Chain A
């Protein structure tokens, strides 16, 4: 489903020098895979995830998503592809504080072509599926961290992506809450969702099917 070839990402260091965050990345991820990216802080894990998620486009090399050559896409086409195929979960949940749970779930739908009734139906489905119907009118700060991340995951998949990207989704959670999220990921993966997660914990990584180790920008 995803094929990266010779992908490199660098930032200018000043005085014409470049700082390479990612070097010569070759990576294949099949449909239905569940990959855990591990590595020390600053290794480039988040950077890689943002590239996969098509937020970042300042890289060189080749990136094929299914049959599409992402490296040839224009910004608009990339955005369309991303909106259709990819969902995001963040370490800090990144829920919008002054929107209710319901409204937070509705955001991704509002940026895609859904009718009002479709949106309402999809949000209702998600609330149901994640068993947070009772919380739909609460604000994020009224929820525990685990519940917030639950909403975060629900929001990531509500528009039906094929690929779920998660950057340390349990990083801010107690271990029991973290387990809950990991169980959720496993179930999603079993239902056919391709998942790429960044994690520091061996335990979380064990939920995945394979591990990619990053060190100083290199896959090792």
Chain B
């Protein structure tokens, strides 16, 4: 055994090129796969850190009975209350939360800053089953509108803002100008939901009919033991029917859509994750085929030696053991290098992974987001390679038994070429590799095109020379509409006085996150969709001049003016798609839109203008969104009972010289209690959108490149072997009159036909993969002719390099040496 090991190591050292290629193949195959999967697992797939997480469900309410996903919404306060009250048979508890940003006052040397926070129902942490690491969760008594000012902080916040002080419980911090007592610290690396650093009580107002159609609550339920989701769904339906009978109300939910909680985070990413998994398997396949090809090469190379040994009486057992040892030593070395590679790449990839939530609704980096190697994947990849190593250990046994011993003794009868079956086997490895590589390449190219289109799609307004930031006008600082109105105007006038600023405007919500605010509506003359009774549109509240400042074209009618106020007609501006959908061929100006249900108490808005459409980064769970409705901020504040909370200010600048400091100073001049946060150029914000998908694109591309490299190495290996094995053939051909060019052609032609076959098989493969993924992801783009062409060219280039080196060697074969009698 020891002898075999020594022999194997000696053989590997004797052919360093072979060993190096094999080890690199393995390292890339195992290492990169593990690294990329570790990132996917860590950022997307890691199990929830909650006790009995399998009983946690995400709660959506449905306005129709079947609770299908398309027509479901987050919970309204109304529904949350009802389900909490009547759902005791189904849920151990129902919790909800909403995300916000708060301004935390200066702590020691740390200046005032905006911090992501979540308002949670008192039972939130007990429902998910994760108590604070220090202190306690909120009590029911604290979860009231005028309850005590208490806060729970994240581990990060504790360490970074409070220096991890031991007596943190009971100390206070200023949040939006109010003193809050810290009652708890959450465990390390827990930021759920809304990537919060602070948790505050949800403190719903006792009764707020205005919020009945505002579906803004993130709901979680813990199912009672032994209840399946299907049975729970039935039970919720029955509960809803009962509620409806006792308290008829059009705002009552009819059913629940309840995916498992973890599932709800990755649902929309699933097809994309599937793409990554397929890409990873492809790379693994290529690497395995490569390794197999290399080992086969090795066996073929030493065929003569094997048969000689066999003839000299070595048992096949011994031969197998030797070959086996060699495969295993290689697999081991490759695995070690792979592990090293993985532990080196993984943190780099994680550093690249997006921090912020985006439109995909993933809960990226909210739970236990530390980098860890994905051992199962590492184990799987390694096992595959060891299997290949072992499988090919037996090859010489099969081979050696087939060799004609008498022939082997005759040194002169060495084959001039590879024998047919070996060549076919090697060829098929390479074809598989090239096929998989081309499929992979095509997929990455298509994905790249798709994501580029998503990212580059015009927003419908201009992003250049525009900067935006947010400020929170909390009710605690600005208790009524007129103080808010005045506060916003003060800020705007200070902003306009900054040198370099040509215009300033405000919007609620931010220009790029319209989807976060939906309004229920019924355009005049259009039948309301049943049974919900309203359409959903993006909602935006803006002062006059907003559209001009952000460069959003006004197509018809007029912009808002200062006289659109609380005393005048309630007006709105709609997007083109909205107008065309509901009033095709008619003049939309003067038409009316009802807010809420037709039979509801809400007002009608009169359309005074039509603007261009904007890019929709819709949350797929919102269902169909019919367009945008914009309303004058002044009028909304004057008439509506609800105040604005977070306002986004947009500055149009002549150049980029407007600094954060200038903005902060202007804000401080307007109102010293306000803090500017998320200061970002619209260009940058545009780039930051779709971060998850962009990241997935990076991963898929990495796999594509990796596959290409490995396949090229495989092709190179095969052709090199062939050229080496066929040296005598080339010598003969050269002696019989072939020129160097003709020999090069011979090798290249073989490479080209392998490439052609591989590409064809790959094309069919791609088609198959697309069909497979399509069944999960209907929006999947298909490769266009450009992708095919580009893929073919890239593959040809790689294959060309892989062919050229061995071909050139073939062209240089010296017949005198090649044909010397041995």
Task: Identify the A interface with B (CB < 8 A).
Answer: 46, 50, 53, 55-56, 79, 82-83, 88, 90-92, 94-98, 107-108, 111-112, 155, 159, 167-168, 172
Given known contacts A91-B821, A92-B821, A96-B416, A55 and B735 CB-to-CB distance under 8 angstroms: yes
Give complex CA distance A167, B735 in Å.
13
Give complex CA distance A46, B420 in Å.
32
Q: Of B7-15, B278-286, B315-323, B725-733, which binds chain A?
A: B725-733
The answer to whether B736 touches A111 (Cβ under 8 A) is yes
Given known contacts A96-B417, A96-B729, A55 and B816 CB-to-CB distance under 8 angstroms: yes
Chain A residue numbers with a CB within 8 Å of B819 are 90, 92, 94
The answer to whether A97 touches B412 (Cβ under 8 A) is no
Distance from A165 Cβ to chain B, minimum over Cβ atoms (Å): 10
Give complex CA distance A107, B415 in Å.
18
The answer to whether A111 touches B820 (Cβ under 8 A) is no
Distance from A142 Cβ to chain B, minimum over Cβ atoms (Å): 13
The answer to whether A98 touches B821 (Cβ under 8 A) is no
**Which residues 229-276 of B sit at the A interface, judged by CB distance below 8 A?**
none
Which 6 residue pairs are nearest across A and B when measured between Cβ atoms? A111-B737, A83-B737, A108-B736, A94-B732, A111-B738, A50-B816
Chain B residue numbers with a CB within 8 Å of A111 are 733, 736-739, 742
The answer to whether A94 touches B816 (Cβ under 8 A) is no
Q: Is B815 an interface residue (CB 8 A)?
A: yes
The answer to whether B736 touches A155 (Cβ under 8 A) is yes
Q: Is the interface of A mostly helix, strand, loop or mixed?
A: loop
Between-chain CB contacts (< 8 Å), 25 pairs: A46-B820, A50-B815, A55-B734, A55-B814, A56-B816, A79-B739, A88-B736, A90-B732, A92-B412, A94-B732, A94-B819, A96-B416, A96-B732, A96-B733, A107-B732, A107-B736, A108-B736, A108-B737, A111-B733, A111-B737, A111-B738, A111-B739, A111-B742, A159-B737, A172-B412
Given known contacts A50-B816, A55-B816, A91-B821, A97 and B732 CB-to-CB distance under 8 angstroms: no
Given known contacts A46-B821, A55-B816, A91-B821, A97 and B417 CB-to-CB distance under 8 angstroms: yes
Cβ-closest chain B residue relative to A88: B735
**Which residues 765-822 of B sit at the A interface, judged by CB distance below 8 A?**
814-816, 819-821
Distance from B758 Cβ to chain A, minimum over Cβ atoms (Å): 22
The answer to whether A97 touches B816 (Cβ under 8 A) is no
Distance from B409 Cβ to chain A, minimum over Cβ atoms (Å): 14
The answer to whether B736 touches A98 (Cβ under 8 A) is no
The answer to whether B732 touches A98 (Cβ under 8 A) is no
Distance from A45 Cβ to chain B, minimum over Cβ atoms (Å): 11
The answer to whether A82 touches B417 (Cβ under 8 A) is no
Distance from B329 Cβ to chain A, minimum over Cβ atoms (Å): 33
* Extra A-B contacts (15), CB below 8 Å, given A50-B815, A90-B819: A46-B821, A53-B735, A55-B815, A55-B816, A79-B737, A91-B821, A94-B819, A96-B729, A98-B417, A98-B420, A107-B732, A107-B736, A111-B736, A111-B739, A168-B821
Distance from A60 Cβ to chain B, minimum over Cβ atoms (Å): 16
Distance from B404 Cβ to chain A, minimum over Cβ atoms (Å): 9
The answer to whether A94 touches B737 (Cβ under 8 A) is no
Chain B residue numbers with a CB within 8 Å of A94 are 416, 728, 731-732, 735, 819
Most chain B beta carbons < 10 A, residue from A46, A94, A155: A94
| CB 8 Å contact bits of B712-756 with A (1 = contact, 0 = none) | 000000000000000011011111111100100000000000000
The answer to whether A112 touches B417 (Cβ under 8 A) is no
Chain B residue numbers with a CB within 8 Å of A96 are 416-417, 729, 732-733
Give complex CA distance A25, B761 in Å.
60
Distance from B688 Cβ to chain A, minimum over Cβ atoms (Å): 60
Distance from A137 Cβ to chain B, minimum over Cβ atoms (Å): 16
Chain B residue numbers with a CB within 8 Å of A53 are 735
Give complex CA distance A108, B737 in Å.
6
Give complex CA distance A23, B97 in Å.
99
Cβ-closest chain A residue relative to B738: A111
The answer to whether B728 touches A112 (Cβ under 8 A) is no
Cβ-closest chain B residue relative to A168: B821
Chain A residue numbers with a CB within 8 Å of B729 are 96
Partner pick for A82 among B416, B419, B728, B737, CB 8 A cutoff: B737
Distance from B454 Cβ to chain A, minimum over Cβ atoms (Å): 53
Chain A residue numbers with a CB within 8 Å of B728 are 94
Distance from B219 Cβ to chain A, minimum over Cβ atoms (Å): 71
**Which residues 563-611 of B sit at the A interface, judged by CB distance below 8 A?**
none
Distance from A211 Cβ to chain B, minimum over Cβ atoms (Å): 21
Give complex CA distance A92, B819 in Å.
9
Give complex CA distance A94, B733 in Å.
10
Chain B residue numbers with a CB within 8 Å of A97 are 415-417, 419
Chain B residue numbers with a CB within 8 Å of A83 are 737
Cβ-closest chain B residue relative to A83: B737
Give complex CA distance A10, B123 in Å.
95
Distance from A51 Cβ to chain B, minimum over Cβ atoms (Å): 9
Distance from A106 Cβ to chain B, minimum over Cβ atoms (Å): 10
Chain A residue numbers with a CB within 8 Å of B417 are 96-98
Give complex CA distance A98, B420 in Å.
8
Chain A residue numbers with a CB within 8 Å of B733 are 96, 107, 111
Cβ-closest chain A residue relative to B731: A94
Cβ-closest chain A residue relative to B815: A55
Give complex CA distance A83, B284 in Å.
49
